[in-house]
Amino acid sequence: MIAEIKRAAHRQLASEGANLSLRAIAREMGMVSSALYRYFASRDDLLTALIIDAYDAIGEAGERADAAVADRADLAARWLAVAHAWRDWALANPADHALIHGSPVPGYAAPQDTVGPAVRRYLVIVGILRDGVAAGSLAAPARVPPLGPPIPEPLAAELAAVAGGLGLQVEPPLLALALTGVTELFGALNFELFGQLNNAIDAERRAWYDYQARLMAAVVGLT
C-alpha cells in the first residue's frame, strides 16, 4: 500500500513538476485524501520518503553500473560508467532528480533521515578511489606534477574529516579532485535538466556529458 502511494506520488511528481499534492495523489488512486493519513503522518513525511527513495535509486544505479565493468582495474571506465548511469537515471526520472539536486522545496526542511541515503551515491566513487589507491595508480608519489592547486590547512582538515567519515584512506589533494569531479557532473546534469543547455547544445547532449565525464576522470587522474 505504501509502495502504491509512493508510485502514484512519483507519477504525479513526474507530470506536474515539483508540486506534490496529497489530494491529487488520492484522486489518482481513487481514494479520499484523508485515507492517506493511515500511511503517512503528513505531506512532509511522504516527501521525505520520496527523497530517500530517490537517493537510493540513483545510488543503486551508480553501483550497478560500476559492478558491471568487468575490468576492475580500469578506473576511468568505471568512473565513466557511473557518470552515465547517473545521467540515464536523471533523464528517466527528472522529477526525482529535481527533488534531490534542485532548489529546496518551499516550507520543507529535510529531516536527519535523509543524510544517510544522500551519501550512498558517493560511495561508489569512494570504491573507485580506494581501489586506485590500493593498486598504487592513484597514490600521491605516482603523480607529478602535484595534484591541483594548493589546499590551505583548515580546508585540508575538513577534507580529511570527510575522508574519515567515508572510511577512506586518501590524502586531501586526491579527495579534493574527486569531489570537484563529482560536483562538475552534477552541475552538468542540472544544466541539462534545468534547461540551461537549451539553444546551445541540443542534439549532442550525451556526447557533451561524455566529454565532461572523461575530462573529469583525467583531472582526478583515473586511467
Partner DNA sequence: TGTACATCAGTGAACGCGCGTTCACTGATGTAC
Per rule CB under 7 A, is residue 37 in the interface with DNA?
yes
Residue of 83, 118, 138, 178 interacting with a copy of itself (CB under 8 A): 118
> Closest approach of Cβ 42 to DNA, in Å?
4
DSSP for 177-216, written as a single string:
HHHHHHHHHHHHHHHHHTTTTTTTS-TTHHHHHHHHHHHH
DSSP-assigned letter for residue 24: H
- Closest CB to a copy of itself among residues 144, 199: 199
Measured distance CA(9)–CA(20) in Å, rounded = 7
Per rule CB under 7 A, is residue 35 in the interface with DNA?
yes
Per rule CB under 7 A, is residue 31 in the interface with DNA?
yes
> Closest approach of Cβ 36 to DNA, in Å?
7
DSSP-assigned letter for residue 171: -
Burial (CB count <10 Å: 0-12, 13-18, 19+), residue 160: middle
**Four-residue CA torsion sign, 72, 76, 81, 83:** positive
- Closest CB to DNA among residues 26, 189: 26
- Closest CB to DNA among residues 30, 141: 30
- Residue 21 binding result from a copy of itself, DNA, none, given CB thresholds of 5 to 8 Å by partner type: DNA
Burial (CB count <10 Å: 0-12, 13-18, 19+), residue 116: exposed
Positions in the binding site for a copy of itself (CB under 8 A) = 16-19, 98, 101-104, 106-107, 110, 115, 118, 148-149, 151-152, 154-155, 158-159, 162, 165, 176-177, 180, 183-188, 190-191, 194-196, 199-204, 207-208, 211-212, 214-216, 218-219
